[in-house]
Every structure is written in C-alpha cells, then in structure tokens.
Structure 1
C-alpha cells in the first residue's frame, strides 16, 4: 500500500479471470472476473487452475487507485451487498495478444463503472472484495471523507410578476395586444 501526501492511495490488485467454453456457436469462450488479489505481484496470464476446459488465469495486475475527491462513490460501493470491485475489460485489439480479452483497470467506484458501461465498448464485471480490501478502503474513506453540508437556496423577495419585460419586440411600437393573431389586410380589386 502506498499512501501519499496528496490524499491518494494506490494498491496493486491482481485480477483473476475464468475462461470457460461458450454455450452458443457465436461465443466460443466466456470470460468472467472471479477474484481479486490485493498486493499481488506483476503477472501476465499466469495459469492458476484448470478443470477440463475451464481455466483460471492471473490475467493482470493493475493499480487500484483511491482519490480523496471520490470518497462518496467509495461509500456507495462499500454499501452494496457484498461490497464489490469493478473490473473493466475490453476485447483485445492486438492479434498477438495472449488471449482475446485484456484488463484495463479495476475501480472501487460504482460511478466510474457506470461511466465505462455507458460507452458500451467495455465489459464490466463485479467481483466481491476480500475483507482486507474492504478494511483498507474503509480506512481511506474515514480519513478523507467530508460530508457535504446541504445549503437550502433562499429566494429573494422581489416581485418579478409586476413588470412585463420581454414581451414582443421592443424595437416595434405596438399599442395593441402583442398576443393577437395577425390580421390580413383586404385587397381591393378594380
């Protein structure tokens, strides 16, 4: 864990992905994020377990970064049952990639996860947080969260309905009702 003076925290987080056979002919493989490993070493597609065609990989290690300004989002994430980390993945664009999916990042903020899901190009998976990670994020939130004080807006007492301002075009002088329908002048035929 690295805690800096500018109120950010960073922790390496290993992402475990499960690759299993697809159930349709259009999806050959199904990828699912199944676990996170707090404090993991750097790995790149290390096979962890194999049962038949189902394989679990330590796919990547990414930094889970916490920011002082996002503590409200972390509180929302901690209040889910169970508290979750959101893993953002994308189909690999490089044909030389070891697998057909790549891990972009992990976040504890459900707001960030929503932003990535709005684009529709990324795959977002929810992974339950281990107890140690819950405690680490909770400590960060306790240290940096400042509740926003609700300030009710007060109206001024000025009466704005007494003056008809902005009706019609001020450059055109009219002595009649500005809301009347236009009238056509009759043409005289000789």
Structure 2
C-alpha cells in the first residue's frame, strides 16, 4: 500500500536547536510527492515528504497483531541522515513498517530517527483484515530436556594428544588427598 509521510517543521525551544523535524501523520493510498508543502501556520510547516510502500507479509502476522493491540496502533517510521538535505531537513525517509519487532530493532540500533506515527482508521482496518486472513496460530512446543546425565562426576582426561600422568584440569592434590 502506498503511504504518504507528513513531516512537520516547527521552531526549536532552545538556542541549540533551531528547528524540530518529526513525522506526524500518514496518508493511506497517497500519490507520489517529494517535500510538497501542505500547510503553513506561522513558523510551523507540514510537508508531504515522501510516498513509500508499506509492505506486509503473511509470515509477520504475529508482529502485526502486536502493532494492532497497542493502545494507539501506529506504524514505525525510520529516517536516516540526509546526504543532501531538502528544505534544510536533516532526515530522509527510509522505511515505513507495521512490523513491531522490526521497528523495535531499528529503535535499539540507534541509527537515524525512529518514530511511531498513529495509523489512520482505514489503515487499521486494512491491516486487521490482512491479519485475520493470513494469520496461522502456531502451537507452542516445549523443548524436552536431553536424557544425558549431567550430575555424574568426571575428572576429565584433558587433551588426549598430550601424555600426562594425571588430569591437567584437576586441582593438584598431595599424597594425603588434600588440595595443595
């Protein structure tokens, strides 16, 4: 599904940050656009920065269920540092994903900017219908413990290629059997 990304530019609140750029909204089914100004209110400007494809896969329906179960269902918007800034924006849109696990992975990597943007109601319904159609519940299978006895004491033999009179991994003992 093509998704338009709205990025808002607003004045910073400190002298060190002149402008704050952040994704604020999504347009489902948007046409192509590149930094088209949508709205201006004083110094605050909303841009239709890009239209990107939201890809969903039947193998990721478990992750989409996590996304839909959030208090506010949102998509992850991943942005990277801009090589050639447009409108002085330091970010370039890289990815829009509904996969909560993928978004969390980008968030933990510390690369670029990762923001959650609330999904419009039609997108929520579209994703919910996709999950209902393609989700297959997988039965949990508990792994059984091996039958190998790990409680038996073995003094180990060390490296079999080296001749030795005793175990090289055992602590040395004197003739009375006590540790030295």
TM-score, normalisation: structure 2: 0.84
2:68 corresponds to which residue? 78
2:107 corresponds to which residue? 117
Q: Give the total of aligned pairs.
A: 172
User: For residues 30 and 50 of structure 1, what CA distance do their matches in structure 2 show?
Assistant: 15
Question: In 2 relative to 1, CA 176–145 (structure 1 residues): closer, same or farther, beyond 3 Å?
Answer: closer
User: Contact 2:33–2:50 at 8 Å: present in 1 too?
Assistant: yes
1:186 corresponds to which residue? none
What is the DSSP-based 3-state SS (H/G/I as helix, E as strand, rest coil) of the residue aligned with 2:34? coil
Structure 1 stretches of 5 or more lacking a match?
A: 1-10, 184-190
Q: Residue 150 of structure 1: CA displacement?
A: 1.0
Q: 1:174 aligns with which of 158, 165, 180?
A: 165
Task: Out of 15-24 and 148-157, give the one that drifted further.
Answer: 148-157
* Per-residue Cα deviation, 1:122-178 (whole angstroms, up to 9, x for no partner): 111111111110111111111211222111222344535447273444444436896
What is the DSSP-based 3-state SS (H/G/I as helix, E as strand, rest coil) of the residue aligned with 1:133? helix
Question: In 2 relative to 1, CA 57–168 (structure 1 residues): closer, same or farther, beyond 3 Å?
Answer: same
1:128-139 equivalence runs, <5 A: 128-139=118-129
User: For residues 41 and 17 of structure 1, what CA distance do their matches in structure 2 show?
Assistant: 16
Aligned: 1:142 with 2:102 = no
Structure 2 stretches of 5 or more lacking a match?
A: 175-180
Query: Aligned Cα RMSD in Å?
Result: 2.4
User: Contact 1:18–1:31 at 8 Å: present in 2 too?
Assistant: yes
User: Contact 1:92–1:99 at 8 Å: present in 2 too?
Assistant: no
Q: 2:46 aligns with which of 33, 53, 56?
A: 56
User: Contact 2:5–2:27 at 8 Å: present in 1 too?
Assistant: yes
2:144 corresponds to which residue? 154
